[in-house]
Chain A
Amino acid sequence: MKDIFITEDQLDAKACTEAVTYPGAGGLVVFIGTVRNLTKGRSVKHLEFEAYEPMALKEMAKIANEATNKWGLHKMVIHHRLGLVPIEEEAVVIACSSAHRKEAFEACEYAIDTLKETVPIWKKEVFEDGEVWVSAHP
């Protein structure tokens, strides 16, 4: 399994968790971003993701490296899904492990916050009566 991965298939949070497991771990933190059925009261049918893949992989690797160094993690894995993602399914999985839980919690939150700011992936919300590129307009 690749640590930094983009796919049109369903994500495997269990495999991501197992990939960061090690004997010295005091804690594993896994963030799973899932597709919500409502945006500001409007019913969402599904999401559609697209990426500038070579750069997205590079930026995801940068985040994992920075987090691993800053919090002294054993490892961080980031998987992101592309294409049509139905309600309730996983869009992103970030897993990391460290000797103590605090570092893993902080690193995981840093990773998802930074991913949403820097990684060139775009999400379109598809409603019954239209569609919107998320965050495009102020």
Chain B
Amino acid sequence: MEIQIIAFGIAKDIINGKKVTLSLTDEHTVGEARRKLSSEFPDFSKLASLKFAVNANYVEDNHLLTADDEVVLIPPVSGG
């Protein structure tokens, strides 16, 4: 399954763009997306944290993804 992931903040700099497409072949979870992303872009491991949001909600690594989900990378937030 192919999923498109949207990036904000420093995540945009790391993937060098606004979106990245990942191919999920195993359990189709956020955890799998995280592993694929980290191996493709090692700089993610340097961040203080990296959360995922699906359809505008924070999710854990065991969350199952479907092809039409809106998946967003949430690097450390710094509003205010």
Q: Which A residues contact B (CB, under 8 angstroms)?
A: 33, 49-52, 54-56, 58, 80, 91-92, 112, 115-124, 133-138
Contact = CB atoms under 8 A, between A and B. Distances in A.
Contacts of B57: 55, 58
A119 B77 contact: yes
Q: How large is the interface on B (under 10, 10 to 19, 20 to 34, 35 or more residues)?
A: 20 to 34
A58 B8 CA distance: 17
**Chain A interface mostly:** mixed
A92 B48 contact: no
B74 A120 contact: yes
A51 B12 CA distance: 12
Contact of A133 (B6, B58, B74, B78): B78
Given A137-B46, A137-B47, A138-B48, A52 B79 contact: no
A53 to B, nearest CB: 9
B53 A120 contact: yes
A44 B77 CA distance: 19
Contact of B48 (A52, A124, A136): A136
Contacts of A122: 8-10, 75, 77-79
A52 B75 contact: no
A81 to B, nearest CB: 10
Contact of A135 (B8, B56, B77): B77
B9 A115 contact: no
B48 A58 contact: no
30 contacts: A50-B8, A50-B9, A51-B8, A52-B56, A52-B74, A55-B56, A55-B57, A58-B56, A58-B57, A80-B79, A80-B80, A91-B79, A91-B80, A92-B79, A92-B80, A116-B77, A117-B77, A119-B77, A120-B79, A121-B80, A122-B75, A133-B13, A135-B48, A135-B76, A135-B78, A136-B47, A136-B75, A136-B76, A136-B78, A137-B48
